[in-house]
Amino acid sequence: MAGLIVVGAQWGDEGKGKLVDVFAANADVVVRFQGGANAGHTLVVNGKKTVLHLIPSGILRPETACVITAAVVIDVFSLAEEIRKLKATGYLQNPKQLMISDSATILLPCHKAIDAARETDLSEGKIGTTGKGIGPAYEDRAARRAILFGDLYDPKSLMAKLDYTLKEKNHLLKNLYGVPEFSAAELFQQLQTVAEELAPYRCRDSSSVVNRALKAGRRVLFEGAQGTMLDIHYGTYPFVTSSSTLAGSACTGAGVGPTQIKNVVGVFKAYATRVGSGPFPTELKDEVGKKIQADGHEFGSTTGRARRCGWLDLVALKYAIRVNGITNLALMKLDVLTGHDKVGICTAYKLGDEILQDLPTSPYELEKVEPVIEYFPGWKEDITKITTLKELPRNTTSYIDYIISQVATPIDVISIGPGREQTLWVKPLFNN
């Protein structure tokens, strides 16, 4: 059984967590392959909400193994708290269910301090970072100075690395940003405490675990964080995250070959949202946008920030399909568009006198485009309780059919609410 990758096909917050949780009913292993605690995957099971930031969304299925790979940056204090909350609500009772790669990068409080100080220091052109320290942590990895998860269990190495990294970090914090420094000795003690708590989940070689599962014919699901338009290389740079969010990074992040992948599922909302700064062509700064925001509860599960809302952008979606090699689509939060007299879809961009069918590579050009919107009749019927596709209102199916006709990629999953049971299947993707 080859692997299946789930990626966000917009600006993040598409509903990947719910989809992975649903898929996990038939998955043996769920693998988180990039990002950090800046992700926020919200799951609703039996009416109860669980928000995950670092732990794979398969964790709510006791029989599903979950792996955090070497390409993830881990705030160990946040992770420990996440584990405590799960255990308190009856999940993660078996420590063998969760495996954390020894090679994953540790995100320290000084990374958060630098992240926040940089954003504060910018008078204009702010990125809109979550302030979770993700960028500075990945910088340390690229600069070959990162502290790894395995270092937590080698006290001598850990202390030496803390001294080394804080020499630079404290200089920046004190002399450039004028904020408090960090004590290596205090951080060492804090890390030693949390290391003991996380020791049962330690995995020396997560790549070997994932490859053995694939070789044995087990069903492996790769879960991404954020979305295509926030990719460090192919997103709306510099208004992006600090890792690669594309399907290709699932292979490098998890340490598996591309021949192990069978399908790539792109997750997108029936509309579009974006958190933070950066170009967002279909943004609605009117009452329609406010209604979508309110009906969709569009507030960040990590930061609580209000998400900017707009009509579905097919130019961006087609781009996501191309750069990820998306084979199947999952349409999320379709129910949120209920109650509008008309619903819009962006079919192209206008830049001056030119009509663009492809996404501009320059974010500054993207900031200037005007969306070409085609409107469709809305629907008033409540679709949150239907159980079959044929029960969808005619106007709703017309909306879906138009999207499929434009992107030439099948929509095989449709979500009509936050619960597991509020999922309509056009074609099963991960059940055998």
Query: Which positions are catalytic?
Result: 13, 41
Helix, strand, coil share (%) of the chain residues, nearest 5:
40, 20, 40
Alpha-carbon distances of 301 from 116, 161, 164, rounded to whole Å: 19, 33, 34
How would you classify the pairing of strands 202-203 and 261-269?
A: unpaired
The C-alpha angle with vertex 199 and arms to 197 and 200, in degrees rounded to 5, equals 100
Quote the DSSP letter at residue 148.
B
**Rounded to a whole number, what is the largest CA-CA distance in the chain?**
66
d(CA 411, CA 429): 11
Q: Please count the CA atoms within 13 angstroms of the CA of 136 that sit on its side-chain side.
A: 25
> How far is C-alpha 377 from the chain's CA centre?
31
**Within 10 A of 56 (CB to CB), how many other CB atoms are there?**
31
DSSP, collapsed to helix, strand or coil, labels residue 414 as strand
Residue 11 contacts residue 229 (beta carbons within 8 Å): yes
Nearest alpha carbon to residue 335 among 276, 382, 301? 382
C-alpha torsion 285→288→292→294, nearest 10: 80
d(CA 77, CA 314): 39
d(CA 307, CA 92): 31
Say how many residues make up the chain: 432
Q: Which two tokens stand for residue 14?
A: 């598409």
The C-alpha angle with vertex 220 and arms to 218 and 224, in degrees rounded to 5, equals 175
Strand extents, DSSP E, 18-106: 29-32, 41-45, 48-52, 65-68, 73-74, 98-101, 105-106
- Start-to-end C-alpha separation, the chain: 8
Strand extents, DSSP E, 141-231: 202-203, 220-223
